Amino acid sequence: MKKIAMNGDQAIALSWKQVDPDVVASYPITPQTIIVETFSEYVADGLVNTEYVCAESEHSAMSICIGASASGARTATATASAGLAFMWEVLYVASGMRLPIVMVVANRALSGPINIHCDHSDAMGARDSGWIQLFGENVQEAYDNSLMAFRVAEHMDIRMPMMTCLDGFIVTHSLERFEPLPDDVVKSFVGPFKYRHSLLDHKNPITMGPFDWTDYYFEHKYQQVEAMKRVTPVVNSVAKDFAKISGRDYQIIEPYKLEDADYAVLAMGSTAGTLKEMVDELRAEGKKVGSIKLRLFRPFPSAELAKMVEGLKGVAIMDRAVSIGAEGPIFPEARSALYDDKQRPRLINYVYGLGGRDIRPEELKHVFNQLIHNEGDTVNYLGVRK
């Protein structure tokens, strides 16, 4: 199919139009608003059959999604920043009830001080909530991830809610050329929604979300732990199917020019794209560097990461969020992933881009150079005026 120009949010709305979910319940919040705004136009124009609920808050939006999904409906929503934070309580209900809700998060900083621009604090705050989390680099990936998410979340081995993340403004509001798939191809890729149990199935009455006491709660949490372990193979097999229809091949964690590299920088989201440019420039200068794009954050691909950095001398982990009192959120997980490897590379952390602070190419070059010259602290704050 021919390439068209859309911003990230419009591309997400288009993906929903093609999937035609049964229910979308949402509350608009910058920089996600264009998604639900565009999609509500599709609803108003009769281009989809979706029941669209404009909720009075994000807490309500997610609660409506939970009810819809429990009744056996394919359900999607979108949010960002404070909206995701306001959903926090019900995120756990969605995952605890094992409902395959698909949600797009347009990554934005959390207040305060109030800020509407990109960082990953919102999604990182939900990392323990039992949701699958996938990050995209650009408009194409945001669109592709949105489609794949339905297949992953709804897979019968998993049945878990899934978040696909795109960088606020940088991807949500930037016009990019991308290649959507034809409607019928999307339809057959996603397939009809299936459920195991539905609250509306009066012939097989069930109770969902009952009080779970000391005698069973732990077992139900353990079920989620086990189900999360089954996610990676499903993400991989869905990506394989997706490659067949799109020609675009996605991995949960993607290396760039790592084969003979000594040093690498890892990032999630749009920064992974800038990193590739920097790798090309430094390679032209004869430096043996590469980069790593982390796509799947939950479940965290510990084994895959450990294998990928084998033989490297140094790796910098870029975190567009900070756990105040610790370090960036990816860093400790990456370090933990390498702990058992005696030949592990030096691993350092760069917290960057908070509140939408631009990450400039020369800053990334500086990170590579610090790695190469064995400089830099364990945790560094890139681009901040100290």
Partner 1 sequence: MASDKASELPEGGMITEAGSSRKYLTGDWRSKRPECDELKCTNCLICWIYCPDNSIIVKDGKRVGFKLTHCKGCGICANQCPANAITMKDEVG
Which one-letter DSSP state was computed for residue 73?
Answer: -
Q: Which stretch binds partner 1 (CB under 8 A): 75-83, 200-208, 307-315, 321-329?
A: 200-208
From the list 53-61, 95-103, 113-121, 175-183, the region that binds partner 1 by CB under 8 A is 95-103
| CA pair distance 72, 146, nearest whole angstrom | 20
**DSSP element (H, E) containing 104:** strand 102-107
CB of 211 to partner 1, least distance (A): 8
- Which of 219, 259 has the CB closer to partner 1? 219
Element (H, E) at 317: strand 314-319
Residue whose structure tokens are 């959390």: 110
Q: Is 3 in the site for partner 1 (CB under 8 A)?
A: no
Of 22, 40, 92, 97, the one binding partner 1 by CB under 8 A: 97
Q: Name residues contacting partner 1, limited to 216-235 (CB under 8 A).
A: 216-217, 219-220, 222-223, 226-227
39: which 2 tokens? Answer: 């999609």
Please, what is the Cα angle at 99 between 96 and 104, to 5 degrees? 105
Establish if 96 lies at the interface with partner 1 (CB under 8 A).
Answer: yes
Nearest Cα to Cα of residue 253 among 311, 300, 315: 300
CB of 64 to partner 1, least distance (A): 18
> Any contact of residue 98 with partner 1 (CB under 8 A)?
yes
Region of 18-26, 197-205, 299-307, 315-323 interacting with partner 1 (CB under 8 A): 197-205
Nearer Cβ to partner 1, position 212 or 310? Answer: 212
Helical (H) or strand (E) element with 19: helix 8-19
Count of residues near partner 1 by CB under 8 A: 23
Query: Looking at beta carbons only, is 177 or 221 nearer to partner 1?
Result: 221
CB closer to partner 1 out of 218 and 339: 218
Judged by CB under 8 A, does residue 205 bind partner 1? yes
Q: Is the dihedral of CA 101, 102, 105, 106 positive or negative?
A: negative
The CB-of-207 to partner 1 minimum distance in angstroms stands at 4
Stretch that binds partner 1, among 110-118, 136-144, 145-153, 201-209 (CB under 8 A): 201-209
Of the two residues 49 and 204, which places its CB atom closer to partner 1 in the complex?
A: 204
212 vs 241, beta carbon nearer partner 1: 212
If the CB atoms of residues 94 and 118 are measured against partner 1, the closer one turns out to be 94
Q: Are 382 and 363 within 8 A, CB to CB?
A: yes
Using the contact rule CB under 8 A, the part of the chain among 90-98, 136-144, 280-288, 348-356 near partner 1 is: 90-98
Q: Which amino acid is at 41?
A: E
What is the rounded distance in angstroms from the CA atom of residue 198 to the CA atom of residue 147? 23
Enclosing H/E stretch for 289: strand 289-294
Rounded to a whole number of angstroms, the minimum distance from the CB of residue 360 to partner 1 is: 46
- Taking CA 123 as the corner, what is the angle to CA 174 and CA 107, rounded to the nearest 5 degrees? 15
Cα–Cα distance for residue pair 143/14, rounded to 1 Å: 8
Quick check: 197 binds partner 1 (CB under 8 A)?
yes
Among 46, 113, 200, 204, binds partner 1 (CB under 8 A): 204
Per-residue binding string, partner 1, 126-165, x by CB under 8 A, is ---------------------------------x------
End-to-end CA gap in the chain: 49
Read off φ and ψ for residue 246, nearest 5 degrees.
-115, -20
Phi, psi of 379 (to 5 degrees): -120, 125
Q: How far is the C-alpha of 207 from the C-alpha of 211, rounded, in Å?
A: 10
Q: Check: CB of residue 171 under 8 Å from CB of residue 8.
A: yes
Contacting residues toward partner 1, per CB under 8 A: 96-99, 159, 197, 204-210, 212, 215-217, 219-220, 222-223, 226-227
